[in-house]
Amino acid sequence: MGGAVVDDEPSDVKAPDGGWGWAVLAGGFVITGFSYAFPKAVSVFFKELIREFGVGYSDCAWISSILLAMLYGTGPLCSVLVNKFGCRPVMMVGGLFASLGMILASLATSIIHIYLCTGVITGLGLALNFQPSLIMLNRYFSEKRPLANGLSAAGSPVALCCLSPLGQVLHFSSSVSLSAVVDQYYDVGRNMYEHNERCVKKINTMGKLYALLELRIIDIVNVFRHISPPKVLQYHYGWRGGFLILGGLLLNCCACGALMRPLVGPKKPQVQELQAVDQAEKKPKPLKKLLDFSVFKDRGFLIYAIAASIMVLGLFVPPVFVVSYAKEMGNEDTKSALLLTILGFVDIFARPTCGLIAGMKWVRPRCVYLFSFAILFNGITDVVSSQATDYPGLVVFCIFFGLSYGMVGALQFEVLMAIVGTKKFSSALGLVLLMEAIAVLVGPPGAGRLLDTTHNYMHVFLLAGCEVILASIVICLGNFLCIKKKPDEPEAHLENGAPAEMEKLNSLPEGGKTESEQPDGVRAGSGKAMEGAEKSGGVGNPETAL
């Protein structure tokens, strides 16, 4: 199949590397934040959901997994929609879906409803925003692309720093004022009815309230008379109100989609434009390729896709379980949620810094090795953190995990762009995300099942670390082997080429030297390969192309 058309981008348009691109970058910053932070931020509601629906950790972990699986698994669908309708309308519709899913989830009566609403509908909406924002960002930036990708990726930790404490406040403080009033009446009732076991039994706040109502010590009207209306409004959110507010925040995705203005080619003189229109009408229109499967012929793309799929098996597990791990140690809820904020704060600075380093002249041709190191660093951090036994140990883990996670986030799409180039990036991104979706759907729930079986977080973090380390080995060795083999392939292709191609080479004028007549230092095939890589947007170096 031919190269996929990416949102009908004019072929003669040069990336502006600035201008309106900074507005596109701002929109991508917000979209990336929502897309990656939501699956982690939802984890702060797990304790309440377990209590509400009587489910286990593995059941709640499916919420984050389905969200991520939809974000990744709908990649090909997003590619088709972007190539058919363009980035802007797809993103605006996606924003509506994302918001609708969270609003419907606030009305859920079972964990299955949350799977469908938060996982499927919100996940689809975020996917329809995430991929088009990446496509537009990489179209607006070329020379500054590593920095732009790093800055855009920083949206994830910024959103995580905001959403995690927000979610904590929304549902953990929901019963503060009601609890205080009920406790006062409960003390009175316990003194009056010491012989009554139902009243003096230590149960949760709502159990106390039911006991007091049953014994007619209080009535519900009397309770709410003692709570001022502002406090009721302030504290009576709960996880349902939290989901509703998060759904309202997701409407900002529609505004970000409006920023994605398509690039317009340079204006031609009116006569030339009319002639071009006439010629275009006479020629039969070729069928537009909505999805380009030819990327699977690229060995570098295959290695990247396999390594990325292994990586995401364990990459998202620690952020999902670190809050529950801290609570299991006996830490307060707000103190436990602070770990995600620490992780996100470090991540904020790691991503742009890594983007700057990757854009350096000496580093950019070798960014695959930097990417491999970042994955290895992340895996080792998981393995070492499995031995943490107290809160300071988890704080140290979050610092190093945020650093390594930020490096991975800043480099993953830069490396993919270097492998496939601009024209095939839309299709390649969609297909890679689809492959990663299968792994994402298995990773966190598998870790949750392991936790339910062993009741030990050490095994969860060890497994996640080993999976990530394996991914770094795959991409590093695969890249090294491809570099060794790649220079010989174009030359062999010319030597064993079809007779028609050889005749074409022999029929060149005497004055024009063929590539085989060039000095020994210049390879016939590699010259064309380098030229093709430059035209397609990839960096002209075999080390970046895996």
Q: Report the chain's terminal Cα–Cα distance, integer Å.
A: 22
CATH hierarchy code of domain 21-173+242-262+289-485: 1.20.1250.20
- Rounded-to-integer distance, Cα 519 and Cα 150, Å: 41
DSSP-derived letter for residue 120 is: I
- Rounded-to-integer distance, Cα 165 and Cα 323, Å: 12
**Widest CA span in the chain:** 113
Cα–Cα nearest to 465, from 374, 385, 356: 385
Cα–Cα nearest to 124, from 182, 68, 51, 41: 68
- Rounded-to-integer distance, Cα 88 and Cα 457, Å: 43
Return the number of other C-beta atoms located less than 10 Å from residue 79's C-beta.
Answer: 27
Return the number of other C-beta atoms located less than 10 Å from residue 229's C-beta.
Answer: 8
- Residue 393: C-alpha distances to residues 225, 342, 405, 427 (Å): 46, 13, 18, 42
Sketch the domain layout of the chain as residue ranges: 21-173+242-262+289-485, 176-235
Dihedral over Cα of 374, 24, 128, 546: its sign: negative
Q: What is the four-CA torsion angle of 149, 150, 156, 161, rounded to 10 degrees?
A: -160
Instruction: State both tokens at 236.
Output: 């009576």
Q: How open is the CA angle 157-69-139, to the nearest 5 degrees?
A: 60
Q: How open is the CA angle 513-518-520, to the nearest 5 degrees?
A: 165
Cα–Cα nearest to 2, from 442, 297, 210: 297
- Rounded-to-integer distance, Cα 184 and Cα 204, Å: 14
Q: Three-class SS of residue 375?
A: helix
- Rounded-to-integer distance, Cα 316 and Cα 314, Å: 6
Alpha-carbon 433 to chain mean position:
10
User: Which residues, other chains included, contact 298 with Cβ-Cβ below 8 Å and sequence gap of 6+?
Assistant: 419, 420
User: Which residues, other chains included, contact 382 with Cβ-Cβ below 8 Å and sequence gap of 6+?
Assistant: 314, 317, 318, 401, 461, 462, 464, 465, 468
What's the full length of the chain, in residues?
546
Please return the burial class of 109, using the count of CB atoms within 10 Å of its CB with bins 0-12, 13-18 and 19+.
exposed
Instruction: State both tokens at 347.
Output: 């991540």
Can you give the pLDDT at residue 289? Answer: 58
Instruction: State both tokens at 505.
Output: 């080479």
- Rounded-to-integer distance, Cα 81 and Cα 88, Å: 11
Q: Three-class SS of residue 45?
A: helix
Per-residue pLDDT of the chain in tens (546 residues, 90 and over written 9): 333 334 445 555 677 777 888 999 999 899 988 887 787 778 778 877 888 888 877 788 788 888 878 887 887 788 788 888 888 899 999 999 999 999 999 888 889 999 999 999 999 999 999 888 888 888 888 888 878 878 887 787 787 777 766 666 665 444 444 444 445 544 554 555 455 555 444 444 444 444 444 544 444 444 444 444 333 333 456 778 888 888 888 999 999 988 888 877 665 555 455 555 556 555 554 445 566 778 888 888 888 889 988 998 888 888 878 888 888 888 887 788 788 778 888 888 888 888 888 888 888 887 888 888 999 999 999 898 888 888 899 999 999 998 998 888 888 888 888 888 777 777 787 788 888 878 877 877 788 788 878 888 888 889 989 999 999 999 888 877 765 444 444 433 333 344 444 344 344 444 444 444 444 443 444 444 444 444 444 444 433 444
Burial 529-545 (b: 16+ CB within 10 A, else e): bbeebeeebbbbbbbbb
- Rounded-to-integer distance, Cα 540 and Cα 533, Å: 6
Cα–Cα nearest to 27, from 122, 163, 162, 140: 140
Return the number of other C-beta atoms located less than 10 Å from residue 24's C-beta.
Answer: 25
Can you give the pLDDT at residue 279? Answer: 61
- Rounded-to-integer distance, Cα 195 and Cα 208, Å: 16
pTM over 0.85: no
On whether the CB atoms of residues 243 and 41 are closer than 8 A, the answer is: no
Can you give the pLDDT at residue 282? Answer: 52
Q: What is the four-CA torsion angle of 21, 148, 135, 281, rounded to 10 degrees?
A: 40
User: Which residues, other chains included, contact 326 with Cβ-Cβ below 8 Å and sequence gap of 6+?
Assistant: 335, 336, 339, 391, 394
